[in-house]
Every structure is written in C-alpha cells, then in structure tokens.
Structure 1
Amino acid sequence: MNMNSYLSERDQNTEATVKITKDKNGVDLVTLQNPRGFSAQVSLHGGQVLSWKNERGEELLFRSSKANSKPPAAVRGGIPICFPQFGNRGSLEQHGFARNKIWEIDNDPPPLHCKDCDRKAFIDMLLKPSEEDMKIWPHRYEFRLRVLLTSDGALKLISRIRNIGSKVFSFSIAYHTYFSVSDISEVRVEGLETLDYLDNLHHKERFTEQGDALTFETEVDRVYVGSPHIIGVFDHEKKRTFLIRKEGLPDAVVWNPWEKKAKAITDMGDEEYRQTICVDGAAIEKPISLKPGEEWTGRLELSALPSI
C-alpha cells in the first residue's frame, strides 16, 4: 500500500498526526498524536495499543519490562484484544488468537457513524481468517478495529465484527486493559458495587460484591456481569482517575496477579504487579451470537483525569 496516500487522505488539513513506522521485528507501528500532545502507539501485531501518553509524556498504560514483542507471542501490557474467547475453553488458545495475529491496515472501511472521527488521529485495522485459522476456528468473519485519539486526549477503540460466512457463530471478547498505577495498594475501583461476579479463582462461582469500592490486598480475577457503562479507577498517590466508558460490552474483568502468580509469569517482573491493574470492557458471560450477514459493534473509551 502507499503509506503517503494513506496519511494525506486521513490527515489533510488537520493538526492531528498519524505516522507509520516499523518496529524491530518489521511489523507496522502506528503513532497517533493530537494537537495537545497526547499520543498513542498501536501495533499491527494483535491490533494492540502499546502506549497511551498524556500531554506531559506520562505513560498511562502498563507494559512489562519483560514483555516479549516478537510475534506470535502477545505483548504483556497495553490493551491486548481477547477474541474469539476470553480465558481457556476448548481447543482455542487462552484468550483467543486475535492478539497474536498480524492485522492489516483497512484502507476502505465501511462508513462508521462517529462524531469524534473527523479531524482526529485514528487508524483503521482489519483481521480476517486465513485458511489455517479456519482449521482452528471454522468461521468466516471480518473484525474491523478503529483506534482513535480524541482532541482532549481520550483513547477510543471501536470494534465491528461481521459474520461473512454461511453459519451462525458465537464469540466472547475483552479489551484487556493494563492501566499504569503508582501502587496497587493505593488503587480503588468504583462502579461495581452490589454487582454479581464470576470468580475465576473459585471455579467461576458466582458471588455478589459487598464493598463500597473494590480495593486490593490479594490476587483478584473476576468477571463482573451486567456492569454499568462507566467505571472509575482511582489512583490516590498519582491523584489520577481513569474513566472507562463502554457500549456493547456488558461485563467488566478485574485482574491483578499479586505476588505469587506474578513470580510465575515469565514475561512479567516479580514486583510489577504493583504497578498495574487490569479493568476490561468485555462481553463474556453471555457470548455474542451472529447470524450470517449480522454485525456487532462494541465501543470502549478511556480518559485520564486529575483527581483530588
């Protein structure tokens, strides 16, 4: 493809910039920047957001110092996309295969009604199954992903998954977002009070959240079902609040491996569990089913605000 034509079409007469380079493995790396100085980096390896920085250049997403960036291994950090499943089930690998595949730049995406898309920095990507993929998951689909940096620095991910085959299929999905925090003991998550959750540490047994806010003193691995459209992650030490807004994603995953499990994760530092919390917009409890020709859309918006 002609990268120059792509850039001129997308960025003509705007101050936002989109730059495409290669990483050390030869994979396209897309850098988005808005006029205020916010930036994001997206790799076509997994269609994964690797970095999101504020106007002061502070990194808002966690990425492990031991992360393996060589395909097909998924990168530990940023926002891996878990599709067509979250967790372990059947013959598919954990969290599905989308995060391990090389996506392509989508030069001709169908119209997307998005009031924030004009004159903003964004990239459209596309994942389609190969014949080898069909042997593992025998369904024909088009997965379109737009990653967009708004004028005020919010990060948006808009997914559209269409069934282009001849039979019904179902999937689950999660944006496995690793937020960068000062210390996990200084973090609380609000918006999940009184909700039921499936506890992956207790064989997916169903419990009800009892606290006024979720705080962390040990390993947590939960799927909160029927969660609200807005969830807040408060970092007391950094005086920063992450707001998670989501549509089409009824569930929320909350995960931190804590000390013991972190030491068993080869691509994560022993103490790095302290610097991150995963809070995902997701659709897990009730898989999404698409008939031939049907399309599903999910939207995630992340913003970082100062808090008192």
Structure 2
Amino acid sequence: MVDRANRPSALHAPSAAAPEAQVDIVGTGASSKVIATLPSGESVEVLLYGATVVSWKSNGGKTENLWLSEKAALDGSKAVRGGIPVVFPVFGPPPKSGHPTSSLPQHGFARTSRWEFLGKSTSEDALDSQSVKLDFGLYSSGLAEEARRAWPLDFGLVYSVTLSKDSLQTVVNVRNEGNKSFEFQFLLHTYLKVKDISKVAINGLLGVTYIDKVLNASTHQQSESSLHITGEIDRVYGSIPQDTTSVVEDGTSRFDVVRDNLQDTVIWNPWIEKAKAMGDFSPDDGYKNMVCVEVGAVKGWQKLEKGEVFEGGQTIKSLL
C-alpha cells in the first residue's frame, strides 16, 4: 500500500538557471494531448483520452520506443491500439457474473475515459540530466454515465508520467474515496517497438509460472532463460521474483522494464492471423515490429478499504 520501500523516486526542484522542459497542450476535444520535450530533445506525448502515452522518443528525440498502429484511433472513438494504454479496474474480459466489475467492458474504462491534466513538475539530478513529470487524474465523478453505472464505486486515480533522458516512468496511484472496499486489477499495456521480432529475446522470466492464453489458459513454467517469440503469444507471468524484464534484440540490450510494486507481467504478440483480423492493427505485418511487455497486478485482485491507497508502475529504460 502506501508505506513501502520502493516508491517512485522523488523529483527535485530545478535550479533557476537550468533550461526547463517544454510542455504544450495541443489539439481539441478528444484529440487533445500533452507533449513534453526536454532541452536535450527527448519527448513524450500523452493523449488525454485514456491518458495513453502514444509516443516516447529518446536519443535526443531520434529514437521512437513505442509501437503505434497506423490505424490507431486517436480521436476518442475507441481505445488506442499501441503506445501505453492504462487498464483499470479489470484486466481482459471481466468475470461473467457475481463480481463488481462484471458489467464492465474488456480492460475496464480507464483507457476509454477522458483524463484531466493536473500539471507538470521538472527536476535536475546531480548529472544535470533533466526530467519532467506530468500528472493526469481520473475520478469517479468524471466518468461517463455508462461506466459509472457499471462500477458505482468512489475512487481517484493519479497517473504520473516522468520523462528522463534515457527512461520513461509511468506510475498509477489508486485511492478508495468511498465508504465501501473495492477490488481491482491494473495493467500498463505497453507496446515496445523493435526492428525484427524474430531477433528478439526476453530475459528475466526463468522459472516463473505463467498462464498461457493461447493454450486454453493452461499453466506452465518458463524453462528457458531467454523467451523467443515464434508465433502468437499471450502469457501472464505471475509473482515474478526479480523486478526487471529485459528485451534484447540481435544480441544487443534494447529495453529494461523495471516493475515497481507490481509482480505480474504479460507478454503479447498477435502474430500473423490475429494481426490481420484486428481492424485497427496496421500494417498487417506490424507484429514483426512490436512486442508487448505489460506490467501489472492481474493475477487475482487488489483490495482497498476506505481511504487506502495503492501505487505501482514501471520504469522503462531505453538502452540504445
């Protein structure tokens, strides 16, 4: 809950003379997004619809790290295919009946709700590497009527997106603001961009038990130190002891995905047939250039009593 050792690192006030990140709000209505750019050129773009990160560029702004479908809806008409959608308060299809989330759509409502931009703060560490932190809020009072009817519980979400020179930190704070306890699941559905999925290895999952959704939700254990993707994959790895999952491409480290107060990770790639079957997945062979490494709390349920807070997220390090 709130009192834990590994809280996301605090940001410090910038010196008066230091150049600051530029933050702009562009677009109107459901297409509005917040764009932050560091003086060194790195940038992040976050749609207010879903608080979905749709772009993260490192290496002075030269390297895009996130995969975004060419047919992704960026107008608020549906959840974004790509980037980093926020999944809350249920992962996947909800329980069929008897659970407070049973009336919700797949993956809940956070990724299809309009969030409020709460503001920015900037920092500078000892190496003069600047950062900018963007905060977004979603509250029960701001939900669409349909979502409010389906999940009539009082909550507050604050989503913090922190851009640094070589990393992106995304953290969700969930607060129970009502008189009743509630249960939820949470996931950051991150689409990482790669050059060639056939040359990708994912490390850090050796010995971990996973549910294989491609094989009728059967349970298995990761027996190889490196996971290679050669077909459709949809696995939920649970209770992972180490905090880092690494993506290596063609023998070179590409990403480190570091979980913070989260124990589960989903690995997903639709491969050929499923990619073709999804109307908003484009190009059809885009599966070759992406892999989803999704941190979350999805095996079982997180429970919050009145006034309690849960916080968890990730730091993605771009290693190019």
**1:108 to partner: Cα distance:** 10
Q: Does 1:127 align with 2:141?
A: no
The Cα of 1:305 is off from its aligned counterpart by: 0.7
In the alignment, is the contact (CA less than 8 A) between 1:16 and 1:32 conserved in 2? no
Instruction: Give the structure 2 partner of residue 291 of structure 1.
Output: 305
Aligned mate of 2:114, from 84, 91, 102: 102
2:57 aligned partner: 53
Q: Which moved more, 1:65-74 or 1:14-23?
A: 14-23
Structure 2: gaps of 5 or more residues: 1-12, 95-101
Deviates more, 1:10-19 or 1:258-267: 10-19
Using the alignment, how far apart are the partners of 2:72 and 2:53 within structure 1? Answer: 14
What's the counterpart of residue 78 of structure 1?
A: 83
Question: Residues 175-197 of structure 1, C-alpha deviation per residue, up to 9 Å, x if partnerless?
Answer: 10000001111101000111100
Q: Which of 208, 214, 237 matches 2:227?
A: 214
- Listed as ranges, the matches of 1:141-290 within 5 Å are 141-150=155-164, 152-227=165-240, 228-236=242-250, 239-269=252-282, 270-290=284-304
TM-score, normalised via structure 2 length? 0.85
Unaligned stretches of 5+ in structure 1? 1-8, 110-114
Aligned to 2:47: 43
TM superposition shift of 1:36: 2.4
Which range moved further: 200-209 or 177-186? 200-209
RMSD: 2.3
1:72 deviates by: 3.6
Q: CA deviation at 1:286?
A: 2.3
Secondary structure of the 2:287 match is: helix
How far does residue 23 in structure 1 lie from its aligned partner after superposition?
2.9
Aligned residues: 290
Q: What is the alpha-carbon distance in structure 2 between the residues aligned to residue 153 and residue 298 of structure 1?
A: 20
Q: TM-score, normalised by structure 1?
A: 0.88
Query: Is the deviation greater in 76-85 or in 130-139?
Result: 130-139
Using the alignment, how far apart are the partners of 2:15 and 2:54 within structure 1?
Answer: 22
Q: Which moved more, 1:189-198 or 1:129-138?
A: 129-138
The percent of aligned pairs where both chains have the same amino acid is: 32
Q: Distance in 1 between matches of 2:80 and 2:212?
A: 25
Closer, same or farther: CA 34–296 of 1 in aligned 2, 3 Å = same
Match of 1:28 among 24, 28, 32: 32
Kindly indicate whether residue 151 of structure 2 is the aligned counterpart of residue 137 of structure 1: yes
Between the aligned partners of 1:260 and 1:271, the Cα distance in structure 2 is 10
Q: Does residue 1:304 correspond to 2:308, yes or no?
A: no
Q: Distance in 2 between matches of 1:76 and 1:259?
A: 16
Partner of 2:99: none
Cα distance between partner residues in 1 of 2:144 and 2:272: 41
Contact 1:11 1:18 in 2 (8 A): no
Name the counterpart of 2:3: none
Kept after mapping to 2: 8 A contact 1:49/1:79? yes
Shift of 1:120: 2.5
- Is the Cα contact below 8 Å between 2:296 and 2:313 reproduced in 1? no
Distance of 1:220 and 1:108 partners within structure 2: 37
